[in-house]
Structure 1
Amino acid sequence: MKNKKIIYRTILFIIIIALLGFAIVWVLPLFKNWNKPLAPGLDLPTFTANPNLISTQSQTTNNAKPTDISAKNSDQKELITDTSTEQETDIKSTPEIIKNPIDATETPSPYCGGPETMMVLALGIDTRADNYLYGLADVIRLVRVDFVTPKVTVLSMPRDLWVEIPEIADNYGITEGKLNQSYFYGTEGMGYYHGPGGAPGLMARTLALNFGVHVDHYGTVNMLTFEKMVNALGGIDLYLPYDVDGRPVDDKTEDMGFFPAGHHHFNGDQALRFSRIRKVDTVFDRMDRQTMVLCALKDKLNSPSVFPRIPKLIASFQDSLITDLSPAQISELACLLPKLSRENIIFTSIPKEILKPGRAYDEHRQNTTFIWEADYNIIRDLITQFQAGTWPDQPKEPSCP
């Protein structure tokens, strides 16, 4: 009996020592780095979007909705100015109302301990390498996270917009290019940019300079990592209302496969190929397919079998993606996921009515290339409203079915 007690105490002692060792090796470093960004931050300067950048681009198309929005904003600004003057007069004459407000209401607290809002630049890079030395930004999304409502709104930016690219002209003479090239010029392999945030940092500065976007954080994933992440989740499920044919249309087109209408379970390779199909239709259809995949990923992450494993999954891919979010901020975003209703996950894009196909000379490639022309003042107006949470309007149907 005495020997059994000794054995029991010995085993208990070993377990305690093992737990302490686990805490020292794993928990303490995690706690120490809990609020530390996983990659260098953006450290963005204050940019004021310049309405005279590059050329004015093409004029607005006939009666495009964004023009009406812009006009509406002008009227609202005048109305706000007049109202502010009247309110100032009333406050001076009736100070007791300020001392004892009757109708004051408390502002709801953000969920999950997060900030009221967070703007994240989400980038998908067109390389299958196991590093980020090179690559173009194949997917460019601005993600506005509202921790109060809660609500997530995702704006897709056309990668072929012709923009001014800052901070590389002195050494390399390049001042303009496609939006997706601003990431390429910022990569370590190109060596054009050595400022904060690396390639995502140059992309963020380009967006700020041209469109007045203020990004808080960024997240970057390449094709290889995306494929591995989908596989780690056990694949994704989605429904196609129509056939999607990604088979080659010429010798230069990569075979992305044929996906018939109906229910599908995609592994990482299938999800990636489906997302990249673009030669058979338009860039807008491609964005819609990418949104379908993102919705399917959201559903899988929110499933009972996967959601508890999110911290472990994030840890396993920590070295395979680039983000300046800290573990604490990633935890806040993961916490918010199950609190989002379908109606409050919204995907939108720059209206196709204001985009026109055009050509521009590419200094890097020494040839002319396809670009999207647009009235950038309209895009700036839309992005200002997007950042304020007033655009787009709540859709009649959820973005994710």
Structure 2
Amino acid sequence: MSVGGMIDQDGRGPDPDEERGRKRRGVRALVYGLIALLVLVLLAAAGVVIVTQQLGSQVGRYPSVFAPIDPSSRPADSGGQTFLLIGTDSRSPDPTTGTDAAPDAVFGSQRSDVIMVATIAEDGQSASVVSIPRDSYVDIPGRGKNKVNAALAFGGPPLLIQTVEQLTAVHIDHYAVIDFAGFAQMTDAVGGIDVNVGQESERDGVVVPAGEQHLNGEQALVYVRERKSLPGGDLDRVRRQQAALRAFLEKALSSGTLSSPTGAYSLVDTVTRHVGVDDSLSNTGLAQLAVSMRDLRNSNVSFLTVPVTGTGMEGDQSVVYLNQTAGRDLWFAVNTDAVPQYVATRPQEQLSDTPR
């Protein structure tokens, strides 16, 4: 496996120490770049070997997700790169769209347990991940008010993109999907993750105790799926999902997995089987974006949830009401690459070290 073609060239002679340093920097460039790409690392490891067609081609492609959208209805592109990141749970027995999401949606159509807006600043120095709770009560173009994840069931990726762009005034550049059915395998591929669990959870006989825990893949899946027993319901689950993905990122970068060609290949092989992106993002495009983001560090990635005012009922549906005023401030910060300044003045809005 070679990443030599991706390493910056400075024109100097072949000093062995310098050559090794360039190789290390090249690997880090790809890793950190793809952290920015999907932020949640589910493609970050792929940066090490994304130049190989075999693994790059394992990343699923969603065709024509932007084609049905009227360009004149979309927010202006403000620079940087923004991904609408969707997490599905194809093995969960609990419906997350269909009748659970909206009375007139098609049951079991498309699931969207996780909705995140992941943005990479234009200078490549910072990135943000903003979660939109799946039960957020929003305007869906042509459908009126409903849960945000109902948009995917009503009209697939194009309608969900339109809904999120209308809500945030943020231009979505790419669409990405992660299947949480593979999250257990991905967790095991990095040797497990370390999470400070705020409240014990149990599912199908698998227990995740409270406190500092090292979770294997099976436990990690229980941790990110739990909702009903948590005081904050879907809001607490959103924080757990972010915490697990943050832990995955930290473990992948610190465990030495990515510094080993065989370890990196194994991890990427697992990851790419459970990730899909829109078809405008080619393997070459992924690698080029990775290189452009080589200065990003995981400490510069902010994890946030869109501000809410509380929960309530709309008919027989439990919904989350968004704080429109505070939300405008957050999305303005996302659009102007000012999230670091935003979180500096509102540290309580960042993901805590011990979410429930």
Does TM, scored on the shorter chain, surpass 0.5?
Answer: yes
SS in 1 for 2:185: helix
Quote the Cα distance in structure 2 between the aligned partners of 1:338 and 1:275: 29
Distance in 2 (alpha carbons) for counterparts of 1:371 and 1:245? 25
Q: Check if 1:178 corresponds to 2:147.
A: yes
2:115 to 140, 145, 148: 140
Cα distance in 1 for residues equivalent to 2:334 and 2:88: 24
Q: Quote the Cα distance in structure 2 between the aligned partners of 1:277 and 1:342.
A: 26
Offset at 1:222? 2.1
Residue type at the aligned position of 1:359: M
Verify the 8 A CA contact 2:201 2:207 in the aligned structure 1: yes
1:204 aligns with 2:173: no
- Which AA in structure 2 matches 1:184? A
Residue 125 (structure 1) aligned with residue 88 (structure 2): yes
Hey, what's the Cα distance between the residues in 2 that align with 1:116 and 1:307?
Answer: 30
Q: Is the 8 A contact 2:186 2:270 kept in 1?
A: no
Structure 2 partner of 1:190:
none
- Asked if 1:266 is matched to 2:215, the reply is yes
Task: Indicate if the aligned counterparts of 1:116 and 1:148 stay in contact, CA closer than 8 A.
Answer: no
Q: Deviations over 1:179-214 (max 9, x none)?
A: 0111233xxxxxxx3xxxxx3332111111333231
Gaps of 5+ in 1: 1-26, 50-114, 186-192, 194-198, 249-253, 362-367
Task: Report the secondary structure of 2:224's partner residue.
Answer: helix
Cα pair 2:89 2:113 within 8 Å, conserved: yes
Q: Distance between the aligned counterparts of 1:337 and 1:270, measured in 2? A: 32
Count of aligned positions: 272
Distance in structure 1 (CA, Å) of the matches to 2:266 and 2:247:
20
Q: Tell me, yes or no, if structure 1 residue 294 matches structure 2 residue 242.
A: no
1 CA distance for matches of 2:298 and 2:51? 37
Contact 1:230 1:236 in 2 (8 A): yes
- Identify the residue that residue 18 of structure 2 maps to in structure 1: none
For 1:346, the equivalent position in structure 2 comes to: 302
Aligned to 2:274: 320
8 A contact 1:160–1:180 mirrored in 2: yes
Structure 2 residue aligned with 1:388, among 332, 336, 346? 336
- Looking at structure 2, the residues matched to 205 and 296 of structure 1 have their Cα atoms a distance apart, in angstroms, of 31
Q: Which residue of 2 aligns with 1:47?
A: 73
Q: How many angstroms apart in 1 are the aligned matches of 2:271 and 2:243?
A: 23
Distance 1:149 1:272 in 2: 31
1:28 to 1:152, Cα distance in 2 relative to 1, 3 A: closer
Question: What TM-score do the two structures reach when normalised by structure 1?
Answer: 0.57
Letter in 1 for 2:209: F
CA distance in 1 between partners of 2:114 and 2:245 (Å):
12
Corresponding position of 1:38: 61
How far apart in 2 are the matches of 1:28 and 1:329?
Answer: 10
Matching of residues 273-292 of structure 1 within 5 Å: 273-280=222-229, 281-282=231-232, 283-292=234-243
Inter-partner Cα distance in structure 2 for 1:400 and 1:341: 19
2:227 and 2:264 mapped to 1: Cα distance? Answer: 31
Identity %: 24
- Equivalent position SS for 2:113: strand
Q: If the length of structure 2 is used for normalisation, what is the TM-score?
A: 0.64
C-alpha displacement at 1:311, in angstroms? 6.0
Instruction: Report the Cα distance in structure 2 between the residues aligned to 1:279 and 1:321, rounded to whole angstroms.
Output: 27
2:131 pairs, out of 156, 162, 167, with 156
Instruction: Note if contact 1:200-1:220 (Cα within 8 Å) is conserved in structure 2.
Output: no
Task: Give the match's secondary structure for 2:254.
Answer: coil
Higher RCO (C-alpha 8 Å, min separation 6): 2
Take 1:29 and 1:382, find their aligned partners in 2: how far apart are those partners? 38
SS at match of 1:137: coil
1:266 aligned partner, one-letter code: L
Code of the aligned partner of 1:47: S
| Contact 1:162/1:373, CA 8 A, preserved across alignment | yes
Amino acid paired to 2:200: D
User: Letter of the aligned partner of 1:370 in structure 2?
Assistant: S
For 1:300 and 1:121, locate their aligned partners in 2 and report how far apart those are by CA, in whole Å: 24
How far apart, in 1, do the equivalents of 2:136 and 2:271 lie? Answer: 31
Task: State how far apart, in whole Å, the 1-side matches of 2:79 and 2:252 are.
Answer: 23
Alpha-carbon shift at residue 336 of structure 1 (Å): 7.3
Q: Does 1:223 align with 2:180?
A: yes
Distance 1:303 1:332 in 2: 24
Matched letter for residue 219 of structure 1: A
